[in-house]
Structure 1
């Protein structure tokens, strides 16, 4: 699992580093953020399919199908001769990412006891450390000396052995997962027979969706917060390499350093969270993480000042990464705690769907807003957009108290 997470981390950081060069080479700079948004958007399809699929059949089928689509999408994107083909490859890749992302969550629930979940999710974040250190720099070297295509094609090749390492864990989890799915199906069928409502899973999903929209206490609020922090972080992160390469004239490898420091901050904070070194409640970790995220985004806007060294903005981005490192594992733990065992796949799917939808909307919206403002205001347009992403993170702080399940307790 950790190997696959590391590979996913390398792919995400490497592609983000290479994308400014890709967009220029394929004459698609105005579609730069859309190449990210489409992958997030189509991953929703994979997540929605994977939720019920994992609950019914265990994580194995969704995992292998997801990996196959992920690799196929990378190959299509890596051989693209136009921006349209690249975006199509990213779309296929997104579906695969959504499938195996949910399967990983369910695998954690099936294999590890609940008390080990914080440490496991912390290990997932720690899997970003090595890719964060070498990924952007290596991607920059590949772009400069071999070509950006090999960033994508290389990730496709490396995914295969990482996935094969998953086989023992999937075999161990599959029997229990199938049994859980059979029990869940029987319970659902029994409930449908008793009340004459065969659409019970649909009604449950609709209730959860309505709860998310109003940030209802418990699991709905967890999903709402995940959407806010995902939209905030992604909306800012996709713009930063573009700002550094095309406005501050850094090399792809140099610009990728901001992704490195952010990922290292994320991993370090996740390590702290996994060991509960701050001794905070779940809501406390969400509140602190959201505050760091907002502060880092607002501070990163200093990069629009040409005379300010790029390192200052990168230092602020460490705060944003650290905020995500505190929030993400906490929300993952809460999701598994608040969901019934036979609904952990669906709950994990809902969490990741919210993540992907928010990321897709944010990356599209920030790109559209940036270019609309850039034609009028120039470089300060980046600062405006970064400030707005900071407001999304502040919203997560405001909702942190509602992630507790106790409905009768006041929001602190």
Structure 2
């Protein structure tokens, strides 16, 4: 009798799928909610001077969290670090939710970033350990949807809660939901917890030190304009050099040289994140300032990109083996490049906002195709001894690429003509070109061994 193939909703995987989706959704919801309510928080806590730090500290902490969780997962399996990561994330939500001054709030944000980054890495390792390889594109499509859906509901829900109840409950409410999500996934991980044992992979304190250095560099780049003024370019450039030197120890050998195989795949994660998210930050700003669109309508255009991202993720999950990983990523990278190039042309020629919306639909579709397949391919290259390390490397390239590109886009915006959207979009288009070129170096394991 032929056994039916497993699906994401098979009894063995159902609660893990639900719990993982919920944890990623809540992490993304919290990140977007904070963006919406931060002006209210800083005013209430008299902390306008720490506005940027509240964001930069979260990004920095996530880098350290991913490295620590990745190494721990490689040594002892993903279940224990996942419990610890969820606990830290929950404590961070409570600290921010009960904060009565800005310093305490920033500490909570730091803990949230640490926990959220660690949760994501642990979930990648959970996927590698318990989901069949054939389901990896599908589960990562689910993860992508968990990241995208909060962009549709997060900002309005957070705004309503902050205005009708209190901004404190944006964090405390998410904390309650995190407990529920943890309750769904932890019983499903019971067997994994029992089977987890030491793999003989040694701890690496040096990696944590390098992660702290990367995090510090990311923070300095993010706040360079605020703290250095006219010398911002010098500070950002020096910090970027430090980040590049430090991150070499946190990614597979050959990543910064874009060697074929796994190194190029991990570099691609940082390249597409840099191109997409630095464009996303300035697109609504352009629509409001240049085209005088209402804030709500500008947000709708971003929602178009979020929806097309979800569509692309679902599409790549259904392709299965009919198209190789590297082919999917090249197609996705080319669509992403086309979408971002439309933003440059639109900004340079001041075309209709409908043109910008059409381009953003393409960019979202490209990201939907690329992002889940990168995760799938990274796990395909990994063994139980390095699943955590490789997943952490992928996440760190994502965070570092997006944070540094957004920071440099800001420097360009204010340096060229006192606020040039065309200059910013030219910069992000160059990043998209780099991403497409890197996609040409990606190979599936069956086509070529890692690092050939």
Give the 3 Å change call, closer, same or farther, for CA 244–215 of structure 1 in structure 2: same
**CA distance in 1: counterparts of 2:379 and 2:357, whole angstroms:** 34
Q: Which moved more, 1:40-49 or 1:17-26?
A: 17-26
**CA distance in 2: counterparts of 1:255 and 1:140, whole angstroms:** 17
- Which gives a bigger RCO, structure 1 or 2 (Cα 8 Å, sep 6+)? 1
Q: Which residue of 2 aligns with 1:334?
A: 377
Give the secondary-structure state (helix, strand or coil) at the position aligned to 2:259: coil
**CA distance in 2: counterparts of 1:33 and 1:238, whole angstroms:** 14
Q: Is it true that 1:115 corresponds to 2:154 in the alignment? A: no
Residues 316-355 of structure 1 aligned to structure 2 (within 5 Å): 316-355=359-398
Query: 1:27: Cα distance to partner?
Result: 8.1
Residues 2-401 of structure 1 aligned to structure 2 (within 5 Å): 2-19=21-38, 35-78=54-97, 86-128=105-147, 130-142=149-161, 145-146=164-165, 148-176=167-195, 178-179=196-197, 182-185=198-201, 206=249, 208-243=251-286, 253-276=296-319, 279-301=322-344, 310=353, 312-373=355-416, 376-378=417-419, 381-401=420-440
Q: Give the alignment's TM-score, normalised by structure 1.
A: 0.80
The answer (yes or no) to whether the contact 1:70–1:94 under 8 Å persists in 2 is yes
- Which ranges in structure 2 are unaligned for 5 or more consecutive residues? 1-19, 210-247
Deviation by residue 1:187-230 (Cα, 9 ceiling, x = unmatched): x79xxxxxxxxx99x9xx84954401101111111111111111
Deviation by residue 1:264-290 (Cα, 9 ceiling, x = unmatched): 211110110011179432112111211
Q: Is it true that 1:403 corresponds to 2:442 in the alignment? A: yes
* RMSD of aligned residue pairs (Cα, Å): 3.7
Q: Give the alignment's TM-score, normalised by structure 2.
A: 0.74
Q: How many residues in Structure 1 have an aligned counterpart in Structure 2?
A: 391
Comparing both structures, which one devotes a greater share of its residues to helix? 1
Q: Which moved more, 1:163-172 or 1:129-138?
A: 129-138
The answer (yes or no) to whether the contact 1:4–1:162 under 8 Å persists in 2 is yes
